[in-house]
Each structure stands twice: as C-alpha cells, then as structure tokens.
Structure 1
Amino acid sequence: MRVSGLASLALAVAPALATSTRGTLGFSLGDKNADGTCKSTSDYEADFDNLKDLTTLVRTYSGTECDTPQNILPAAKSKGFKVVLGIWVGAQDSGDLSTNDASFTKDFAALKEAVPGYEDYVEAITVGSETLYRGDQTGPSLHNYIGLVANQFKSISVGTADSWNKFADGTADDLFTRDTTDAPLVTYVLANAFAYWQGTAADQAYKTYFDDMSGAMEHIQKVAGSNADKIHILNGETGWPTDGGSDYEAAKAGTANAETFWQTGVCGMLAWGVDLFYFEAFDESWKPDSVGDNGQAMDEKHWGLRTASRQDKFNTTCSN
C-alpha cells in the first residue's frame, strides 16, 4: 500500500484506520521444541495445525540451525502453509563476495538444496536479520548479498529484515535505488517495530508502533520513487511479553498488557491494511535470559501468543 502523511494517523484510534483490504497476519516461528531439541517435520505440522485458525503464514530465521528448511517445507506442503525462509548474514570482513562470511555461505547452500520442488510454499527469502541495525553490513554490501540470492531463486521474492529506523533514516536506501543485474531492486521488506523496546506503556504503544511503521514506509516510498509500487513493505516483527516476562522502562510485561497491545496495535495495523508477523507464535521456554547493554538480565521465554504447549493466553479476536 502507498502511504502519505501518516504521522498524524498514529495519533488516531486504531479502529479508525481500517482500509478496504485487511492486512495478513503471520507469525515468527522458532525451530526448537520447549525442551530445546530441534523440531522435526511432525513438530512443524503440529504447529501449523494449531495456528491454522489464525494464519497460514510463518517466518523463520536460519537456513542451517536445526535443518529448518529441510524440516519445515514438507510440513508447509502437507498443511497448506507458506514460509518466509531466512539466510543469516554476519559482519562484513571484505568487499569480496567470493569470500562471504561462513553463516551466509552455509545458509545459502542449505536453501539451494532444500527449496527446489517447494517453491510454491516459499513466500519469500530474507537475507540478513537486523544486520544494518547491528552495523554488520552497509546498505550497498547487504544489497550485494541479496543479489546473489535473488539471482539464484528467480521465481521467489527476496529481501531483508531490519529495524524500522534503519529504513527510515536512509541506511537502507541503496536497496531501493540501485537496480542492476547483480543487485536487483529489493521488493520484499520486513521492518521490525517493537514499541515495547522503546519503553512505551502498553496503552500508548500503538501510537509508537504506527509512528515507527509510517516512518519506515514513507521513507522507502519516497526514495523508491516510481518503483514504490513494486515494493512490498511488511511489519517483520512486533509483540509484547506476557506474564513471566521482563519489564523495560515504562513497558510492563504481562498478559493483560499483551492483550491491550494486540487489540490496539496488532489489530489496528491489520485493519490499516499492513501485513505483519507477530513475534512470536509460541513461548520458547528453552531460551536463556539475555543480558542487555545495561547489564540487566531479560527473560525471553514468554513472548509467544500461545504457550509452549500451544494453549491460548488471551482472546485474539480483533474487535475492528
């Protein structure tokens, strides 16, 4: 969708943002079971059976960890799902793509082996996950990696996922302004936007969320010019930790707050017509705490819309 003047829209109540076409809901999906073991094809089939009342679209992150493509694609075919596959890109160590980092090389090779025959079940391939946000790559260097993958999988959309602000501040402009044989125009863009990680209270989080997404979308469309209508911009990740999670400044973890954000933010974004991936489908109880720059441990086990045993936490029916 093409957008303009969206900053003011973020101040409106979410139900007022409805468009004629509702956005598509997808989920980030982990590759491990609750006990930390790798998921098999049958585990993914059970995930899909559980999620089919909400979606038939999921997003993954790695081409080699837990043999994700080899296990998830047969399950997607069996259950009628589509999958966004991921290729990890590490830090840039040279401008010579013939010596790409080991993570990219391994993931790219795994997808070359796993995807043929399953193209109809691959929604897209993302090259890099917040690599610009971490400073591991520049826009031009990331574009070159994307070009390698796009030229390999010509029938599949290939793009990247990064923090919304890296799309809004111009860091990623090369992806939408350079269109060559080696690095074609990037047409599939996942912009991650977490009002929680900006320390926003749950009842105000939808405003931050809409501001973030409108900023990313407006800038991409501005720099893309006449190519803007070719670019599919989605919200790549958003979410809120439920009971047992960690607070972050004014953003308080809790199931009631997660439901508030779901109803005002997620349901509002879908009503606005923007496709999005909720982070995440199920709790990942195997995850260790992470330690941020402030030295504080943050619980990452309770971000699922549903529990690790695939049980509902709150009512997900959108009221708008």
Structure 2
Amino acid sequence: MRFFSAIAALLSTAGCVSAIGSIGFDLGVQRNSDSGCKETSDYLSDFSTIGDYTNVVRVYAASDCGTLANILPAIEQANFKLFVGVWPNDDAHFDAEKAALSAYLPTIDSSYIMAVTVGSEALYRGDLSASDLSSRIDEVRTLVHGISGYENVPVGTVDSWNVLVDGGNAEVIQTADIVIANAFSYWQGQTMANSSHSFLDDIMQALQVIQTTKGSTDISFWVGETGWPTDGGSFESSVPSVENAAQFWQESICGIRAWGINTLVFEAFDESWKPMTSGIQGVETHWGVWTNDDTAPKYSLNCEFA
C-alpha cells in the first residue's frame, strides 16, 4: 500500500514540480566506432539526433575523456543544457575533476549548466560514506560558487532511490543543493506488468524522504537514471526487448513526467564499445534509446498527456 500513500503525498505537494516534467538523457563520452573519446563534433552529432526531444543531457565526469573541454563548445553552439558529473571516489581522480571544473566552467555562461553533481551512486556502491560524500559536495560547491557567475549553480549528488530512502544517508541530502534519484525496475527483476508501479513507487519514496529531510517541498528534483534495455540477458523476471522498452517508456517515463517529475533517461545511445561480458549477456550495451548509428529512436518517444 506504500505506492498509494506516495501518490497522495505527491498530490499534496504538487507545487514543488511543474505541470509536465522535463526530459533529458544521460550521455556516454566514448565513440562506438573506435572506443575513442568523443570530440566536439561527436557531441554536436549527438545533439542533432536528440534535439527534437530535449536540449538537456548529463555526463558522469568532468575530466575523463576531456569531457568538459570537448562538450562545452558543443553545448554552447547547440544551445543545450548540461548536468556536469564529478567523480569523487579517490583523491587523484577527484583532484583531476576539480581541476577540470576550474579550467573549463569559466569558459561558458552558467546558464548552460543545470547543476554539478558529485558522485553517481557512490553511496549505493559503498565507494564513500555519507560523511565523506557530504564533505566532497561542500568542497565542490565552494569551488563552483567561487567562479564568477556560478554563485547560484546547484551542487549536489545522484544516487539510487533505496539508499536515499535509508535514513543513514540523511547527511548527504541535507548537504546537497539538489538530490537526484535513480530507479531501475529491470534491475529489481520486475515483470512488465509491475514495472511501472515499482518505478513510480520508488521515485515517490525518494521524493518524500528528500522533502522531509530538507523540511521543504520547494526543491529541485530529477530522476537521474531510468530506462529499459532492448537486448541482452534477462534479470530474474525482467526481459530486455524493444517492445518492453517502449512499454516502459509509455507507462513509467511518460507516467512520471505526467506527475510533473523531471526525468533523465539512461541512456541516449547504445554503447557497443563496452565489453559484451559486461552486465548480463551484454545487456549493458543495449540501454540506448537510439542505436549507435540510427538517427531515429528505436521506439516512439511521444507521450500523450491528458
């Protein structure tokens, strides 16, 4: 019955979200053709493909593959918006990420930057404690807000819905300006009949806990990752296929947006550069809404909102 109580909570706090939630895509930074790092021209090609549906994308790191150096010119040229990821797990990588922020954020107006997110499921994987992640969020916020024009850019984190619901991680929610929740019905082994109920319930639980912890419904909230693979191995009762991905889009992604929740979909394009041994029978290479080369999505992305 938790699902229905979560809906009631959302309806009672509807003022914290827009009428129809925005859509965006998580974006890989390696080319499928040769596994090389994407250059500005590659990002412009990506944006041309997805531009009919959104101008919002998210990347997972600032320094890896020269991400900020290569994507920011494309962001500005195509008039896109970017969630910038920061990988905080080890000191050397974290230092490289901060150096990239310092070097490249001043080259673009802050209006192109949706937020800076420190960590991607760092709590879920146990990479950092809540205290350590909170400290690194604070450190990045001090850096970002010290850049001229960036004083109001939100700095927060992205993590799995279940660890956000865990009261032991409340310190992170309190520290972050923005908290973004991931939820995958596929990785919970759900049937298609139950996948949308599971997803909507998970996200509503996360939103409730974030609002309660923050002591306010006036927050910025996004789903950070969700989607359904179109090929590869099954996980328990979850079966990858184009048909199931299309159903998940209509019932879950369109459904959550109809409730006013902003959603980033994992992911824009298949990533065939990943080893076929990754995940379950290559499933990690088939999460894209688009294949590697096609300019048309695998299934309809239209949502019929009443």
Residues 245 and 303 in structure 1, CA contact (< 8 A), matched pair in contact too: no
Please give the TM-score of this superposition, normalised by the length of structure 2: 0.89
Matched, 1:300 2:284: yes
- What per-residue deviation string (whole Å, max 9, x for no partner) do you get for residues 23-46 of structure 1? 010100000111211111011011
Contact 2:7 2:204 in 1 (8 A): no
Give 1:6 deviation, angstroms: 7.1
- Indicate conservation of the 8 Å contact 1:26/1:58, yes or no: yes
**Where does residue 115 of structure 1 map in the other structure?**
105
Match of 2:302 in 1: 317
Distance across 1 between alignment mates of 2:178 and 2:277: 30
Alpha carbons 1:158, 1:188 under 8 Å: kept = yes
Give the aligned partner of residue 98 of structure 1: none
**Please, which of 125, 128, 133 is the counterpart of residue 142 of structure 1?**
133
| Runs of at least 5 residues in structure 1 that lack an aligned partner in the other structure | 13-17, 92-100, 178-184
What does 1:1-320 correspond to in 2, within 5 Å? Answer: 7-8=3-4, 21-35=19-33, 36-90=35-89, 101-118=91-108, 119-154=110-145, 155=150, 156-177=153-174, 185-225=175-215, 228-242=216-230, 244-290=231-277, 297-309=281-293, 310-320=295-305
Q: Secondary structure at the match of 2:257?
A: helix
- The amino acid across from 1:311 in the alignment is A
Change (3 A) 1:245 1:297: closer
SS of match in other structure, 2:180 = strand
1:117 deviation in Å? 2.6
Cα distance in 2, alignment partners of residues 291 and 66 from structure 1? 20
Between 78-87 and 115-124, the greater mean CA deviation after superposition: 115-124
What do the CA deviations read for 1:90-134 (whole angstroms, capped 9, x no partner)?
Answer: 16xxxxxxxxx1111111111111111312211111111111011
Query: Cα 1:9–1:312, aligned 2, differ >3 Å: closer, same or farther?
Result: farther
Structure with greater helix share of residues: 2
Per the TM alignment, residue 74 of structure 1 is displaced from its structure 2 partner at its CA by 0.6
CA contact (8 A) 1:282 1:306 kept: yes
**Any idea what the Cα deviations from partners look like across 1:191-232, whole Å, max 9, x if unmatched?**
11001100001232110001110111111111221xx24531
Are 1:10 and 1:207, in contact at CA under 8 Å, matched by a contact in 2?
Answer: no
Amino acid at match of 2:20: R
Distance (whole Å) between structure 1 residues aligned to residue 2 and residue 281 of structure 2: 36
TM-score, normalising length: structure 1: 0.85
Q: Which moved more, 1:120-129 or 1:67-76?
A: 120-129
What are the superposed Cα offsets for residues 264-311 of structure 1, whole Å, 9 maximum, x if unpaired? 00000111100111000011111113556xxx5443111100111133
Distance in 1 (alpha carbons) for counterparts of 2:252 and 2:187: 14
SS at match of 1:287: coil
SS in structure 2 at match of 1:26: strand
State the distance in 1 between where 2:6 and 2:252 align: 10
Alpha-carbon spacing, 1:287–1:255, altered in 2? closer, same or farther (3 Å): same
Q: CA deviation at 1:10?
A: 6.9
Q: Which amino acid aligns with 1:29?
A: L
Q: Indicate conservation of the 8 Å contact 2:101/2:144, yes or no.
A: no
Superposed CA RMSD = 2.0
1:180 maps to none
Q: Which amino acid aligns with 1:280?
A: E
- Give distance in 2, aligned partners of 1:239 and 1:283: 12
The superposition leaves residues 164-192 of structure 1 with CA deviations (integer Å, 9 ceiling, x where unpaired) of 01111123201234xxxxxxx41211111
